[in-house]
Each structure stands twice: as C-alpha cells, then as structure tokens.
Amino acid sequence: MSVLTGLARMMGVPANIEMMLGTMVADPGTTAWLIGFVMHLTLSGLIALIYAWGFEHVTHKAGWAVGTGFGLVHAA
C-alpha cells in the first residue's frame, strides 16, 4: 500500500495515508506524519498476523490458490 501511494504521489495524485492517519491524532506536520507512519506499520503487521493465523489454523497450508482466496476476502 505504501508503494502504491508513493507511485500515486509521483503521478500527481495527492495520496498520503501516513498523513491522513496521523492527522487523526495530531495537527498536520512532521509529527503527524511520523505518528501516521507508525500507525500504518502497526495495522499492516496486525493484518499480516491475521493472514498467518488463517494459513496456519484455518487452511493448514499455503499456496497461490489459498492466498488468492484470502486476498479476495480481504478485498471484499
């Protein structure tokens, strides 16, 4: 997600997830961006743990088909 928003910014689209998350708790600026960056990394890590739990305890395996299924559920 960070790579996609970085590419969007390079193409002129004002996408800044870190600042959006950070301004929920602080005024816009460097501090807000850093807070948003930490929030983004934390949430991404939690999502990764949910994926890992699902692969380990729900499907008992991992592969492209199972990964695609998890991705579709996440996208929905």
pLDDT tens sequence across 9-39? 899 998 888 889 999 999 999 999 999 999 9
pTM here is 0.71
- Listed by start position, the domains of the chain span 2-75
Query: Tokens 């959006």 label which residue?
Result: 20
pLDDT of residue 38: 95
Q: Please tell me the predicted confidence (pLDDT) of residue 15.
A: 86
Least Cα distance to 19 among 6, 41, 36 occurs for 36
- Look over the chain and give the mean of its residue pLDDT values, rounded to a whole number: 88
pLDDT above 80 for 61: no
The pLDDT assigned to 35 comes to: 96
How far apart, in whole angstroms, are the C-alpha atoms of residue 75 and residue 72?
A: 5
Residue 40 confidence class, pLDDT cut points 50, 70, 90: very high
